[in-house]
Each structure stands twice: as structure tokens, then as C-alpha cells.
Structure 1
């Protein structure tokens, strides 16, 4: 039974989410102390977090970063902020997905199922079975830790960033289409904004840049992306 933590200060919305998810067999908890969200997350041991942005004390972006400091569990933002900037910020701060209010409960459930499947289901098992540690020209990928290392420097990756890097390394020098990536990262692609993929790719680019691999991911306009490996002989 997966555990879901609801971080929503609107009691009516929190209650609706609680009842709906509990009906599907999830163990659901709601945050009670909004100045201690990170501590409650640790104590309750959630497998997935539903996180609002407008919260007392600190906003959801802050708490997303706090949770990311200790865990790579899926974080899905649910917010009344519908503008693209806030959706981009949610992903930039470590979120995996974004749902706008008002929402359909079945859409929420579909996104939760997709996130859980990608994190704990078949995809996760396939990654660990295929390679405990992947290596491409001195770039090491650590599936157990969601980390990558290049020339002695190491970075931590979110779930989506790691999934992207895993695919890029596996398919290096081949064009991987946007549709392929969308289908690999999200099961319910009809609910995914295409911009979400772009933001995640840009986040991965930025982190690879921190390792010194600024140009590893090339955009092939009209098609997708290619992970270049010509840096491996540098």
C-alpha cells in the first residue's frame, strides 16, 4: 500500500482528496503543522507528496526543496496558479508534475498512478536490473542513488532528470524523439503539457553543465534530442 502525503491548507480540498484516494486503497495522511512539513514528511514516510503552493509560513516551492534535500519521492504540485511561469518554477524546484485547480479527481489519480509506476513499478525494476552502475566515456550513472559522476564531480538528480539521463546514455548519439521521451517518462501523456518535458531537459542540461558537460544534450529541431558522446575522449 503506497503512502500519500497531502500538503493542502484548504480543509475542504484536502478532505476531498483524502476520501477519493483512500477509496482506491492508498494510505493517506494530511499535514497538520505547516511550519514543520519536512519533519512530518520524514515521520510519516510518504511514497508521494501532493503539494499546494500557497501555504502558511513558507510556500510550496520552499517545502519542495526541503523534501528534495532528503528524498527523491514523486512530488506533484496542485495549485490554483494556472500561469506557465509557476508551472516551470514548480519543476525547477524539484516537482515531478503539476495539476491546476479546479481539477478532476480522476486526472489526479491518473497522475499519481503514473508517478508511482515510474518510481516503484516496472520502469524502476528495469533500471536496476539493467545496470547497477552505467558508464559512458567516464560518465558514471548510479541508479541506486539517482546520481551522476564525471571527472570526480558528482551531482544528485530528481527522478525525472535521472530517467532522462538513463535514456540519453542508453541511446547516445541517436535522435530520441520528444514522443519517445514523453511516453517513457509519463504513462498518461494526454495529461502532460509538452513544455514540462522541455523544462526537465533544461534542468538536466544545467546539472550536466555543473559537471563540465555543457553541450552533451543537443536539440534536433522538429525531432527531439541527441545525447552526444564526443566529449568522452576529451
Structure 2
């Protein structure tokens, strides 16, 4: 476990107790005892989560949440004796991810820390996957999440089957697909050697994405075999 936590708590006894416990759990802990220290450490260190008291010298906890939210979406867990519903709503509304009221058990705190870090990791992975679902081929932009295609910023309307063929070729650059492989991958049916369906769809697809369908730059014909996506037209 390599996660780092910024712990912001002005009560020395609580700070040391929580820090000691989290270190035993395998976390790296940076301790701050006032708002300015917290902001300085945040700027200097790479952390994965912040545990933050509301009542602090210098900057209060809500000020710190607002300042951090201007540049980061890392999880923030508020830890405070001000546990009224109003304070909870205010803290979460300012951008905190969770709230634990004092007094609290270290077991509950650890569980909330693990949950916040797990959600953050899942969110990061989801965003990464989404970003990776956009394929750029020269002037073509293929968004696999939104099922959309554009060329030089202008949208291209494709049928579902045309989009599936294009996506299959674009996500396997320079790989040659036989007509049988294309048919079975897109239509999910056995291929019995009828080339007409594939030929028609490739022709229509080229008419939509190519500058000159008779001299294609994107979808290349490999004579006697099938087709491939040319990544560097």
C-alpha cells in the first residue's frame, strides 16, 4: 500500500493518535497543525487523500476545501466535533467527500479512508478508460463511448453496422481482417462466403469517410484477403 494521506488536525494528541494508527495500516502520513501548514504540505507533497478538521488556526477547514478544489479532485474527509446536520451539509457542499464526527473510532475512520480511496481509484480508472475510448486516425475522430465519428471536426453519420466495422478496424490498427472475420465480428453470425454484404458496407463507409472513395486512404483493401485500417494515410 503506497497511498499518502495529508492529516490536518490542530489537536496534537488527536493528530499523533490518528497518524500513528494510519501508519500502522500502511499509509504514508503528512501531518499539519494549522491551515497554512496544510496548504504548504499540499503544494509540496503528492497525496491521495486529505483528512481535515474544520476548526483550524490560520485558514479554517472549509477555506482549505475550497482552495484545494480549485486544482484537485482528490478525496477529502472532514473530521470535526461540529457534527450538526448543517455543518455536514455545508462541508459536503463545499466539496468534501465524506464526514466523520468527533469522537470517532479509529476502526470507523480507517474504513472511511479505505472507502474514499477505493472510490477515487475507481473514478480514476473509469476516466482513464473513457479517455482511451477515443481513437484518432489522421483527420478522423472515433468516439467509442458516444458512438460518434467526425472528420476535421465535422460529424459523420454512420449506420450501426458501419460504425462497428470502422471501430473494429480502428482499434486494431494495421491488422488485416478477412471478410469472414469482419462479418462474424459485426453481425455475430456464421460466415458462408457471401461477400456482398461486406462489400456494400465497406463501399458506403468509404463514401462517408474518404475524400475519394475510389482511392481510399483509411480503409485499405488487401487483395485476396480482406481489409485493414491504415493509421498513417
Instruction: Give the TM bin, normalised by the shorter chain.
Output: 0.5 to 0.7
The Cα offsets for residues 63-108 of structure 1, whole Å up to 9 and x where unpaired, read as: 1111111211100000001210000001111100000000011111
Equivalent residue number for residue 112 of structure 2: 111
CA contact (8 A) 2:34 2:57 kept: no
2:55 counterpart of 1:54: yes
2:165 counterpart of 1:128: no
Flag the 1:61–1:34 CA change in 2: closer, same or farther, 3 A. Answer: closer
CA RMSD, 1 decimal: 2.3
- Give the match's secondary structure for 2:107: helix
Length-normalised TM-score, structure 1: 0.54
Distance in 1 (CA, whole Å) between partners of 2:15 and 2:33 is 11
How many aligned residue pairs are there? Answer: 137
Equivalent residue number for residue 79 of structure 2: 78
Equivalent residue number for residue 45 of structure 2: 44
Equivalent residue number for residue 165 of structure 2: none
Distance in 2 (CA, whole Å) between partners of 1:130 and 1:36 is 36
Distance in 2 (CA, whole Å) between partners of 1:99 and 1:49 is 13
CA contact (8 A) 2:7 2:50 kept: yes
Distance in 2 (CA, whole Å) between partners of 1:57 and 1:23 is 30
Which runs of no fewer than 5 residues in structure 2 stay unpaired? 135-142, 149-233
Flag the 1:127–1:44 CA change in 2: closer, same or farther, 3 A. Answer: closer
Equivalent residue number for residue 12 of structure 1: 13
Distance in 1 (CA, whole Å) between partners of 2:100 and 2:4 is 19
CA contact (8 A) 2:65 2:94 kept: yes
**CA displacement at 1:57 relative to structure 2:** 2.0
Distance in 2 (CA, whole Å) between partners of 1:52 and 1:14 is 10
Length-normalised TM-score, structure 2: 0.54
Which runs of no fewer than 5 residues in structure 1 stay unpaired? 139-234
Distance in 1 (CA, whole Å) between partners of 2:59 and 2:102 is 20
**CA displacement at 1:36 relative to structure 2:** 4.1
**CA displacement at 1:7 relative to structure 2:** 0.4
**CA displacement at 1:33 relative to structure 2:** 5.2
**CA displacement at 1:37 relative to structure 2:** 2.4
**CA displacement at 1:32 relative to structure 2:** 4.6
- Give the match's secondary structure for 1:35: helix
Equivalent residue number for residue 26 of structure 2: 25
Distance in 1 (CA, whole Å) between partners of 2:33 and 2:56 is 12
Distance in 1 (CA, whole Å) between partners of 2:108 and 2:85 is 19
Distance in 2 (CA, whole Å) between partners of 1:103 and 1:36 is 24
**CA displacement at 1:131 relative to structure 2:** 5.1
In the TM superposition, structure 1's runs of 4+ consecutive aligned residues that sit over 4 Å from their partners are: 130-136
The Cα offsets for residues 111-149 of structure 1, whole Å up to 9 and x where unpaired, read as: 1111111112x453244224557877x9xxxxxxxxxxx
